[in-house]
Every structure is written in C-alpha cells, then in structure tokens.
C-alpha cells in the first residue's frame, strides 16, 4: 500500500515536518499582559499529541498596542519568552515542530473579545482595567464602519514597527521555535498596507501595488535577516480581499514572487479581512485554488487552509501537489486528534501515527472489538462466552 501523501515528511531548510498536517494559528483571547500559561500549554500541546506535524501559536503581538484585544499573546518583551519556551519544549517532546505567528493588528487593535461582541473597545463597553488604546494603520481608514480612525504611521514610526518585528523574532529564537510566520493577512497591519481599500498613502508606501507591498516586504526581509538561516520562514497572506474592489489573486501572486526572492519558504494562503463580507465562491476547500495558483506561478511552497474537513479531501490536496501543506483551525479545535485519525483512515487502520502511550493499546482494543463485532444494545452488557 502506498503511504498517504499526508504522512510524508517535508524538509524546509534544516527542519523536517514529520507529516503535512499543520495546526493554523487560532487566537484564544485568553491571557493577561500577553503572558501564556497552562491554558495555552494544554490547548496547543493536545494537537502535538494528536499527531500534527507543526503547531503554530496564535497571532502573537510584537508590540502591546499591536494586540487585537487585551487577551492576546505577546512577544514584545523578555518576560514573554519563558512561557512560550515551555510550549515549544512540550511540542518538541511529542515529535512536532513549534511555530509562532508574529503580528500587529493595526487598525483592528483595541477590540473586544469575540464572545463579548467584538468591535472596538470604548469607554462605555470596556471591562474593568481594559481601557481602549489608540490604533495605527497605513492610512486613517477605520477597520469597521463608524469605527475609530487610526493614526497613519509616519515613515519614522514604520521603522519602529519593523524593529519590533525583528526584536520579537529574536525572542522567538530564544524560545526555541522552529518556524516563524509573519501575519500579513485578515485585515491586520501588514495587510492594511497591501490592500488599496485601506492604504491611501501618497508616499513611497502607497499607490501602486509595488509601493503598497514595500513595507510588508521590508518587515519580511528584516525578519529573515534576524531569523536563523537554518529555520524556515512562513508568511500568511489573504489571497484576495473579501471585496472585489481590494487585493486580487494577481496582486498576491506578484507579492509572493517577492516573498520567495527575500527568503520566505512557505506562503500560508488564506483570504479576506479588508472590506468585510466575501464576494467570491465559498465552500469546502474554497481557498485551495489560490494556494495552487501561488505555488505554480510564484514558484514557492504553499499551505492550504479553509474548510478542509476530511482526511480524503486533505490527502487529495497534497497528493495532487495543489499545496505542500494543509492547515486546520476549527477542525482541530473540534477534534484535536484529527491528524492521527486522518492518517489512520488513509493507512488501512494502522495506529502507527499515534503516540506510543496510546497506539499499541488502541491497536489491541481494535482487534478485540473487531472480534466482538458492534455493540447492538439495548442491554449495555454484551459479552461472548469464554473460549474453551
């Protein structure tokens, strides 16, 4: 039997993913002062135990004012390193690679947690001790209708943001991460520079597609220089804006060619974030064609994400070389063991992908259950006679 494509390792620089299944960054909005603790150790650790080859920590703010909410993870100071190092160590101990997504929310900062209703924090709706703060962006364009206008960053302030990404990258090295992913998607700061809907600048950082990508490329280049040569660098992009008036796939292909030229190893291909709504086809695997096109036309490895819900579906993406990796967020939250379940279903029922603490026991149990047949009920006790 040919091994599943999902089970094949992938070497990027000096790091090897044991398989092609990745946990995408998922904001949990569940820390104070950016400091991770036991919640994140358990939340992320369960995915490594569940067989994923790479687990990426959620959007991690490079500055305090770059957080989406007061509950966001941070890496803007040395105080954040020990908690994240503990997580990276645990992921490594279970055979997974550890990644962290570095981010700045820009105009979408100072927001309420989703379960609090989302939207901007105001003096009227703020939790005690969680006051709103001023936001920044490429231009003075609100992130949401009737939202607060962000401050348009000056060129000198862009230098500060760039250096914040570099400093956070160095802390990610100290924490022991294998992969850094730069967040340039979903309507956050770097995406705000890329999109014509949010970037109205008339200097060298606005106007043409080439000018709009200038600052994101400066950040990526600076991070690549600070990030060790033997470790892969990912960038998450929105292949298209939600509105057809925004970024096009042609824009993103051109951007990804530049990313490849400055040393990016994988583009994590998502979509939307500026303009609200979604004016494009949607359904299972709806963003896979974007990943496939970027892979083909920009000559760079890609990671597909978005309504990937089934092992055979994910296998088809990688086996046909439509993307090199497949990432899961909600599916992983629903089933932290999705990776081992997927590999088992594709590999003739083998438990080889399971942790050693579980695989042999589950294989033995499966043999017994196969002999017994299904429980038919309604009596909860259904036994076979002892063998003579």
> What are the residue numbers of the active site?
188
The residue whose two tokens read 């609090």 is 116
CB atoms near residue 6 (< 10 Å): 25
Can you read off the two tokens belonging to residue 328? Answer: 């899961």
The length of the chain, given as a count of residues: 388
Dihedrals phi, psi of 261, to nearest 5 degrees: -70, -30
With vertex at residue 241, the alpha carbon angle to CA 148 and CA 312, rounded to the nearest 5 degrees, is 130
- By the 8 A CB rule, do 107 and 141 touch? yes
Measured torsion, CA atoms of residues 312, 315, 317, 321, in degrees rounded to the nearest 10: -150
* CB distance 162 to 214 below 8 Å: no
Give the three-state DSSP class for 386: coil
**CA 206 to CA 214: how far, in whole Å?**
8
């Amino acid at each position: 039997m040919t091994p599943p494509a999902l089970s094949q390792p992938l070497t990027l620089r000096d790091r090897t993913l044991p398989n092609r299944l990745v946990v995408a960054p998922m904001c949990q909005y569940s820390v104070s002062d950016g400091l991770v603790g036991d919640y994140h150790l358990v939340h992320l650790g369960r995915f490594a135990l569940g067989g994923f080859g790479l687990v990426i920590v959620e959007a991690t703010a490079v500055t305090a004012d770059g957080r989406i909410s007061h509950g966001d993870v941070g890496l803007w100071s040395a105080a954040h390193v020990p908690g994240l190092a503990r997580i990276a160590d645990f992921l490594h101990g279970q055979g997974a690679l550890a990644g962290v997504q570095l981010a700045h929310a820009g105009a979408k900062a100072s927001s309420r947690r989703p379960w609090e209703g989302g939207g901007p924090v105001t003096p009227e709706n703020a939790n005690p001790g969680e006051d709103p703060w001023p936001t920044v962006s490429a231009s003075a364009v609100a992130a949401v209708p009737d939202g607060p206008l962000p401050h348009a960053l000056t060129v000198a302030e862009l230098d500060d943001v760039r250096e914040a990404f570099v400093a956070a990258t160095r802390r990610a090295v100290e924490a022991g991460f294998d992969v850094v992913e730069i967040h340039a998607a979903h309507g956050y700061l770097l995406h705000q520079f890329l999109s014509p809907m949010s970037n109205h600048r008339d200097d060298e950082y606005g106007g043409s597609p080439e000018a709009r990508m200038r600052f994101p490329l400066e950040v990526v280049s600076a991070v690549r220089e600070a990030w060790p040569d033997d470790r892969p660098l990912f960038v998450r992009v929105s292949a298209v804006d939600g509105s057809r008036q925004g970024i096009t796939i042609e824009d993103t292909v051109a951007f990804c060619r530049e990313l490849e030229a400055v040393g990016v190893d994988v583009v994590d291909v998502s979509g939307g974030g500026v303009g609200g709504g979604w004016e494009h086809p949607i359904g299972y695997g709806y963003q896979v064609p974007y990943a496939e096109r970027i892979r083909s036309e920009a000559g760079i490895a890609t990671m597909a994400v978005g309504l990937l819900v089934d092992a055979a579906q994910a296998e088809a993406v990688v086996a046909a070389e439509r993307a090199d990796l497949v990432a899961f967020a909600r599916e992983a939250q629903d089933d932290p063991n999705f990776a081992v379940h997927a590999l088992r279903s594709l590999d003739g029922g083998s438990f080889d992908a399971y942790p050693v603490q579980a695989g042999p026991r589950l294989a033995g149990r499966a043999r017994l259950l196969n002999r017994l047949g299904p429980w038919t009920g309604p009596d909860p006790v259904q036994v076979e006679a002892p063998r003579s």
